[in-house]
Chain A
Amino acid sequence: MNKEERYSVALFVSVGHVIKAEKILKKAGIPHKVIPVPRSISSDCGVCVRFLTEDKDRVKAALSELVPINEFREL
């Protein structure tokens, strides 16, 4: 992870939603990675989508009305 780059994660209700979001972001060409939900956020065993914080609006726009996002968190 590059130190200067700031990352955020989008949290979803289920892994199905995460995979759906992943597919949409891939298609939209927005850099992202599916990662385990960081322990600082939740002790649940789930996964979330990490992206560059500067891309937050693009992520929001791409997913709007297609996948409900539970919440955004900055890392």
Chain B
Amino acid sequence: MDGESLIYFDNAATTWPKPKEMIEAMVAFNDSIGANPGRSGHRLSIEAARVIYSTRELICELINAPDPLSIILTKNATEGINCCLMGLLKQGDHVITSSMEHNSVMRPLRFLETKGVTVSTVLCSPSGEIDLDDIRGAINKHTKMIAITHASNVTGTVMPIEEIARVAKEHGIFFFVDAAQTIGNREIDVIKVGIDILCFSGHKSLYGPQGTGGFYLRKGLEEFLSPLMMGGTGSASEFERQPDFLPDKYESGTPNGIGFAGLAASVRFVLGQGVDRIRAREKTLTKIFLDGLKGIEGVMLYGVDDPSRRTGTVSFNIRGVSPSDISSELDEKYRIMVRPGLHCAPSAHRTIGTFPQGTVRFSFGFFNTEEEILYGIKAIEEIAKTYYNRER
């Protein structure tokens, strides 16, 4: 490290840098398309619609969804999650979730509780793992949905979605997956796994621009899912009622055309690199980091040991030192960007025993290098030496 370069280890919040193709596609959209998709019959409007359709197609390719029109585009994963939870769960329904969820799932569920929905939160192990028997045990005759994260944004622990999907299927329950941390870095096959709803972020592991996200909805589910927002869609304009078909039912108002143009290029980049290769690369980096941290006195690591059962997200603490102090020191002295605290997931921190102080979170992406990881380990080593020993 030359002392000038910035080291970005906050990829679980948003990936950075982005592939250059992303910004090129956004500039091209701005310079030569720019129009409002589906709002007129002129060539630029049609071209904008083609760009957005290609974004849907590419996401379909990534998750093996059968129909591009079943990909609903939103401003982020949170919007999709809200749309699906608030739109599907009604008074008297029961939903099962995990204690590792992000607030994007927890807060809508807590709100729904005040509207007569009952919520069972399955307590995970201190490393963030879920027991399938606990899920089975929580099912009752009102259970409508199992809503679970594919991987924790705190510990990186990957949930066994294939097994959970089987449980959901056995009981005729909708299976909802929050893939904000995994789309693009782990294989997801919505058909093979049996996922009814998959919410994703565009700006994290898809390397797209901020302000993009979406969800996959299994065909036929639109019958049960009310829209969260209603408005102009450019379709069925003669009616004052919201259209009932996909994707328009859930896409009101002018979309983030330039953002989705960028997202399409980013998904192309991910497909070009290959999800397997991205995953392998992140696994290698994570393993080096985990191994490096294990040897440092005073460091407490969270999550599972096996790097193949986790994403490139690692939480840790240095005994007696606050996560925010470590984070500031990393930024100011080492030019390393990480995220301290609760990561919008208080329940996950309660589960792993780090509430309310939280953890320091390092999250790696495709553009990180081995050299950067080693520099990060060295920085933590120095901080631990200085502060941990001083605290003792």
Contacts and interface: CB of A to CB of B under 8 A. Distances in A.
Contacts of B40: 36, 45
Given A18-B49, A36-B41, A37-B41, A13 B234 contact: no
Given A13-B236, A19-B53, 17 more contacts: A13-B248, A14-B236, A14-B243, A15-B234, A16-B49, A16-B69, A18-B49, A19-B50, A20-B68, A20-B69, A45-B40, A45-B41, A45-B234, A46-B41, A46-B234, A46-B237, A47-B45
B38 interface: yes
A16 B53 CA distance: 7
20 contacts: A13-B235, A13-B245, A15-B46, A15-B49, A15-B234, A16-B247, A16-B248, A18-B49, A19-B50, A19-B53, A20-B68, A22-B50, A36-B42, A37-B41, A44-B236, A45-B39, A45-B40, A46-B235, A46-B237, A47-B49
B233 interface: yes
B37 interface: yes
A32 interface: no
Given A19-B50, A19-B53, A20-B53, A14 B234 contact: yes
A13 B246 CA distance: 10
Interface in A33-49: 34-37, 42, 44-47
B234 A17 contact: no
Interface of A: 13-20, 22-23, 34-37, 42, 44-47
A16 B248 CA distance: 9
Interface string B225-263: 000000001111110000101011000000000000000
A23 B58 CA distance: 14
A22 to B, nearest CB: 8
A40 to B, nearest CB: 14
| 5 interchain residue pairs of minimum CB distance | A36-B41, A15-B38, A14-B235, A19-B53, A15-B49
A3 to B, nearest CB: 23
Contact of A19 (B39, B49, B243, B248): B49
Contacts of A14: 38, 233-236, 243, 245, 248
Interface string B45-63: 1100110110010000000
Contacts of B243: 13-14
Contact of B38 (A16, A35, A37): A16
Interface string B312-338: 000000000000000000000000000
Nearest to B37: A15
B147 to A, nearest CB: 27
B235 A34 contact: no
A57 B201 CA distance: 41
Contacts of A36: 40-42
Contacts of A46: 38, 41, 234-235, 237
A42 B53 CA distance: 24
Contact of B41 (A17, A22, A23, A47): A47
Contacts of B238: 42, 44
Nearest to B51: A19
A17 to B, nearest CB: 7
Nearest to A44: B237
Question: Which of A16, A23, A42 has the most chain B CB atoms closer than 10 A to its own CB?
Answer: A16
A18 B40 CA distance: 13
A14 B233 CA distance: 8
Contacts of B233: 14
B49 A45 contact: no
A58 B234 CA distance: 28
A21 to B, nearest CB: 11
Interface in B130-166: none
B248 A47 contact: no
A15 to B, nearest CB: 3
Interface string B195-225: 0000000000000000000000000000000
